[in-house]
Copies of this chain bind each other. A is one copy, B any other.
């Protein structure tokens, strides 16, 4: 490819509205262009990376015996009603009417379509297990698209669905897919990714793992045990909570706290430790029921866990409208409307001598005892894990980090096969619903996340296995006829040797050409100039390390082929380990 003809431009300025490294660099280096909020066109270099990532995924799915197929992007309402998801998924599922007035949806995942394909076409237990998968465009009507390709509305995804006769068979297969996922990320070039236990969310099912590119800019909070390897999305993480102070409480006492409403204000006003407080967090369910959750003042609420307890999304509630006293809500003398939920987090278990709101304007209560004053409280786990809390498995301190979700796998059970009436004839003559697993990878997320992991202050750094080109060929002083003749010849030789090369054939300054090459991130840069040619050499720079090697021009092609092969093999080898 000649750079003079490549569609796209390289720009110096940080584009408006972009803050994430991958977003900025993809825009600056001419890889993506925004068409609408959360909707991008991929320019030719990005599509090259996209296809290479897809190919790695395809190879690993095929190696598992996966059968590639293609489900529709546009599906009829009826299909999604069979599983119950037409109503259970909120506005992320894009619904519209076709020209005949028929209700349709845009696919954000394809469990229903997968079961539809297998329904009546797979009938015998002997055909199981099997896995069908596709690599395709999906649409999710995200409320808050952000970060370039990290959280988009339209994206390319590999989604796979496996069908099994028994739970044991699913678990065996699930482990194989898990291993294949690890190979996929390693082959893409990730060094810093982990898998964590995760929430099953709208998919249903009981067991789920997420694959996370570990990075401080990730949206997901992760809890890790450096000792035993426990790793979990914060949403479902567990930990041994801080021990509480069990010193027996004195008598309860109402105290004036005035404008002190937040936990920090109350602690400061009363000069007490935050560990001797209980705070209240309030929501309403989607059908309007009030939810009040109490937890120790130094903990944060885990909305994901609370949401599961009430089986509803959690919405903002105006507590004053419900007769509560905002800023002074407490667990003593609390009167709630009928049908409300109240929960006590485990961090409050056995707590003595603590302060909570008095349910009365400007007042809190001191010296509350959980055991004495709220003897019937039952405790649940609805608090976030804190850095340094103990691992429930090995007792070591946990650490927190963040990640970008680059894949997820689920043991779905029979949610979809049962609701859609798919049955398999078993050897004993009975008919049984197959047990399913499903497995997703976001291709664009991988593309952006690898930039987050590897980019430096000069630009993108692509691993050789997914780089748009292997070599960025940058002859300098193309106005010099010798340079230009040798450059054209070398370009041709590279192409003939099967080297994927981007040839910067523009007669521009060294500054522009070298800066462009660093920005674009091709793994090897080859420079020739009157100076290097005087020694019959070419300068090869390894983008990832900055290391420079001078290679005699007549050895250049074979040396480049070797370097490319070596780097690909090193990555492939690491994936097999």
> Which residues of chain B are within 8 angstroms of A70 by Cβ–Cβ distance?
41-42, 46-47, 50, 156
Q: With A and B bound together, what is the CA distance between A349 and B133 in angstroms?
A: 63
Indicate if A298 sits at the interface (CB-CB under 8 A). Answer: no
* Of A6-14, A370-378, A479-487, the one with at least 4 CB within 8 A of chain B: A6-14
**A40 close to B99 (CB less than 8 A):** no
Indicate if A564 sits at the interface (CB-CB under 8 A). Answer: no
Indicate if A336 sits at the interface (CB-CB under 8 A). Answer: no
> Which residues of chain B are within 8 angstroms of A16 by Cβ–Cβ distance?
none
Indicate if A4 sits at the interface (CB-CB under 8 A). Answer: yes
- Which residues 75-122 in A have Cβ within 8 Å of B in the complex? 75-76, 79, 91-92, 94, 96-99, 102, 104, 106, 113, 116-118, 120-122
* Of A137-145, A289-297, A411-419, A456-464, the one with at least 4 CB within 8 A of chain B: A137-145
**A33 close to B67 (CB less than 8 A):** no
Indicate if A44 sits at the interface (CB-CB under 8 A). Answer: yes
Indicate if A63 sits at the interface (CB-CB under 8 A). Answer: no
**A39 close to B121 (CB less than 8 A):** no
Chain B min CB distance to A114 (Å): 9
Q: Which residue of B lies closest to A152 (CB)?
A: B72
Of A74, A126, A143, the most chain B CB neighbours within 10 A belong to A74
Q: With A and B bound together, what is the CA distance between A118 and B106 in angstroms?
A: 28
Q: A5-B65, A73-B139 are in contact. Are A41 and B113 (CB under 8 A)?
A: yes
> Which residues of chain B are within 8 angstroms of A39 by Cβ–Cβ distance?
72, 74-76
A148-179 Cβ-contact flags toward B at 8 Å (1 or 0): 00000110100000000000000000000000
Looking at the complex, which one of B67, B72, B123 makes contact with A44 (CB distance below 8 Å)? B67
Indicate if A127 sits at the interface (CB-CB under 8 A). Answer: yes
Indicate if A68 sits at the interface (CB-CB under 8 A). Answer: yes
Q: With A and B bound together, what is the CA distance between A9 and B143 in angstroms?
A: 41
**A44 close to B73 (CB less than 8 A):** no
Q: Which residue of B lies closest to A11 (CB)?
A: B121
> Which residues of chain B are within 8 angstroms of A141 by Cβ–Cβ distance?
98-99
Interface size range on A against B: 35 or more
- Where chain A touches its partner, the secondary structure class is mixed
Q: Which residue of B lies closest to A71 (CB)?
A: B41
> Which residues of chain B are within 8 angstroms of A139 by Cβ–Cβ distance?
73-74
Q: A76-B36, A116-B33 are in contact. Are A130 and B71 (CB under 8 A)?
A: no
**A127 close to B35 (CB less than 8 A):** no
**B4 close to A118 (CB less than 8 A):** no
**B99 close to A96 (CB less than 8 A):** no
Indicate if A48 sits at the interface (CB-CB under 8 A). Answer: yes
> Which residues of chain B are within 8 angstroms of A50 by Cβ–Cβ distance?
70
Q: With A and B bound together, what is the CA distance between A445 and B65 in angstroms?
A: 28
Q: With A and B bound together, what is the CA distance between A141 and B102 in angstroms?
A: 11
Q: Which residue of B lies closest to A40 (CB)?
A: B72
> Which residues of chain B are within 8 angstroms of A72 by Cβ–Cβ distance?
35-36, 39-41, 154
Indicate if A136 sits at the interface (CB-CB under 8 A). Answer: yes
> Which residues of chain B are within 8 angstroms of A20 by Cβ–Cβ distance?
none
**B126 close to A4 (CB less than 8 A):** yes
Q: With A and B bound together, what is the CA distance between A45 and B76 in angstroms?
A: 24
Q: With A and B bound together, what is the CA distance between A442 and B4 in angstroms?
A: 31
Indicate if A309 sits at the interface (CB-CB under 8 A). Answer: no
Of A50, A96, A99, A123, the most chain B CB neighbours within 10 A belong to A99
Indicate if A324 sits at the interface (CB-CB under 8 A). Answer: no
Q: With A and B bound together, what is the CA distance between A5 and B128 in angstroms?
A: 7
Q: With A and B bound together, what is the CA distance between A298 and B69 in angstroms?
A: 50
Q: A35-B116, A113-B35, A132-B7 are in contact. Are A41 and B68 (CB under 8 A)?
A: no
Q: With A and B bound together, what is the CA distance between A76 and B143 in angstroms?
A: 16
Indicate if A51 sits at the interface (CB-CB under 8 A). Answer: yes
**B69 close to A44 (CB less than 8 A):** yes
Looking at the complex, which one of B1, B75, B118 makes contact with A36 (CB distance below 8 Å)? B75
> Which residues of chain B are within 8 angstroms of A154 by Cβ–Cβ distance?
72-74
Q: With A and B bound together, what is the CA distance between A192 and B183 in angstroms?
A: 46
Q: With A and B bound together, what is the CA distance between A471 and B479 in angstroms?
A: 56
Q: With A and B bound together, what is the CA distance between A39 and B126 in angstroms?
A: 30
**B36 close to A137 (CB less than 8 A):** no
Q: With A and B bound together, what is the CA distance between A7 and B30 in angstroms?
A: 41
Indicate if A43 sits at the interface (CB-CB under 8 A). Answer: yes
**21 A-B contacts, Cβ less than 8 Å apart?**
A5-B65, A7-B69, A8-B121, A9-B120, A33-B116, A33-B117, A33-B121, A35-B72, A36-B102, A39-B74, A41-B113, A42-B69, A44-B68, A47-B70, A72-B154, A73-B139, A74-B139, A91-B99, A96-B96, A98-B153, A99-B141
Which 5 A-B residue pairings sit nearest by Cβ, starting from the closest? Answer: A96-B96, A44-B67, A42-B70, A36-B76, A91-B99
Interface contacts beyond A33-B117, A36-B75, A74-B139: sample of 20 additional A-B pairs, CB < 8 Å, sorted by A: A1-B67, A5-B127, A5-B130, A7-B118, A30-B121, A33-B116, A35-B75, A35-B113, A36-B102, A39-B75, A40-B72, A42-B69, A44-B69, A47-B68, A47-B69, A47-B134, A70-B156, A91-B99, A99-B141, A99-B143
Interface residues of A (CB under 8 A from B): 1, 4-9, 30, 33, 35-36, 39-44, 46-48, 50-51, 65, 67-76, 79, 91-92, 94, 96-99, 102, 104, 106, 113, 116-118, 120-123, 126-127, 130, 132, 134, 136-137, 139, 141, 143, 153-154, 156
